[in-house]
């Protein structure tokens, strides 16, 4: 299996995150990707390839142009005001307030942020841009005939909505990749999000569409970030009714219950009959992850990788979350190995 990866992820190296009432070292940090690529090399998973630069067109197809333009200049505008810290929003257009975009950077941050934990720092835009290019490169290899590709994206993307950032995400890599597959000839694409947190951004982008089926397995929003999206009754809107499926689960969920939800999601994907599958691969479902409450063990990741392979679909794995850095590489590669090994065994029959 090919891995698409760039060292430019290091450009995203913020020092502050608002967590538990304190400014702490971000859980989403460069060492995450280094643990994963180190395990990819150790396991000899396959060739590691630099991304191609596909430009902005694919990004603009899933994100509001004004929002993207804001991300490009947010750090420079913050610096221009001589603020000494990293850019963190402090005010939002809450209920019954005006929904107009302010001119001042403080207001702009709040307008475009879905949450306040994620700071913008030097290099954030460049890293986010290249993370999207990693996903687009992975999609291009899928379009060229590869049956399984791993896009090691950092920063992650599934919380990035049409015009909002947060949850460590700025551009929605999985959505950008799915749209590019459609643009390159696919009639239908499915996205299955196995990250612990709900893929609110992906849901927002495709909620009114029937050419993308989105299924998300996640911590119940009553108990887990992002809290305000991801309920079971969110089934799509307009043409998208029936093409959005959520599987919220309560604290302490183990692999058997989680896998039952995955089985149902994969059955829905099979009935949808897509031309390709995008997996938003978050491994923060691990039992020792510091900011989640599911109880999957390392071997479980290998088992569900094989479950995904049974669909026999061209599959792009797009890296999302996972914050227990001692195990993140093992758990990520276990999914990919479980997928690849079953595909190889079936091909050999």
Contact 158, 229 (CB under 8 A): no
**Closest by Cα among 12, 120, 109, 115 to 67:** 109
Tell me the C-alpha distance between 317 and 305, whole Å. Answer: 10
Q: Cβ neighbours of residue 323 under 8 Å, at least 6 residues apart?
A: 27, 28, 32, 284, 289, 290, 291, 292
Tell me the C-alpha distance between 203 and 191, whole Å. Answer: 10
Token pair 């979350």 is found at 321
Contact 290, 328 (CB under 8 A): no
Is residue 218 annotated as a catalytic residue, yes or no? no
Other CB atoms within a 10 A radius of the CB of residue 24 amount to 13
Tell me the C-alpha distance between 99 and 112, whole Å. Answer: 11
**Please, what is the angle between helix 105-112 and helix 65-80, to 10°?**
140
**Closest by Cα among 200, 119, 194 to 158:** 200
Distance of CA 200 to the CA centre of its chain: 10
110 three-class SS? helix
Catalytic residue among 63, 159, 198, 218: 159
Q: Per the structure block, which two tokens stand in for 112?
A: 């475009």
Helix or strand holding residue 46 (H, E)? none
Positions marked catalytic:
159
């Amino acid at each position: 299996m090919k891995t698409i990866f760039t060292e430019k992820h290091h450009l995203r190296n913020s020092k502050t995150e608002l967590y538990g009432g304190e400014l702490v070292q971000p859980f989403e940090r460069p060492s995450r990707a280094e643990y994963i690529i180190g395990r990819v090399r150790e396991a000899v998973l396959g060739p590691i390839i630099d991304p191609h630069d596909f430009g902005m067109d694919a990004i603009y197809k899933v994100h509001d142009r004004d929002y993207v333009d804001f991300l490009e200049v947010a750090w420079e505008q913050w610096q221009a005001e001589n603020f000494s810290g990293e850019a963190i929003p402090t005010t939002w257009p809450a209920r019954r307030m005006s929904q107009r975009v302010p001119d001042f950077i403080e207001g702009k941050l709040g307008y475009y942020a879905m949450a306040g934990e994620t700071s913008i720092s030097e290099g954030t835009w460049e890293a986010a841009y290249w993370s999207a290019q990693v996903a687009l490169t992975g999609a291009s290899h899928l379009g060229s005939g590869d049956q399984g590709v791993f896009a090691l994206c950092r920063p992650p993307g599934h919380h990035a909505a049409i015009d909002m950032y947060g949850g460590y995400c700025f551009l929605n890599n999985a959505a950008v990749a799915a749209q590019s597959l459609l643009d390159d000839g696919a009639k239908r694409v499915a996205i299955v999000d196995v990250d612990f947190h709900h893929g609110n951004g992906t849901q927002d982008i495709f909620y009114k569409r029937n050419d993308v089926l989105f299924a998300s397995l996640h911590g119940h929003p009553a108990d887990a970030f992002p809290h305000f999206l991801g309920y079971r009754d969110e089934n799509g809107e307009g043409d998208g009714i029936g093409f959005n499926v959520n599987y919220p689960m309560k604290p302490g969920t183990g692999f058997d219950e989680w896998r039952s939800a995955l089985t149902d999601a994969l059955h829905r994907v099979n009935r949808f009959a897509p031309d390709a599958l995008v997996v938003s691969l978050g491994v923060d479902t691990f039992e020792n992850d510091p900011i989640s409450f599911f109880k999957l063990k390392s071997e479980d990741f290998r088992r569900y990788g094989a479950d995904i392979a049974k669909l026999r679909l061209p599959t792009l794995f797009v890296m999302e979350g996972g914050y227990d850095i001692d195990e993140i590489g093992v758990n990520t590669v276990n999914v990919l190995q479980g997928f690849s090994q079953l595909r190889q065994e079936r091909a050999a029959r």
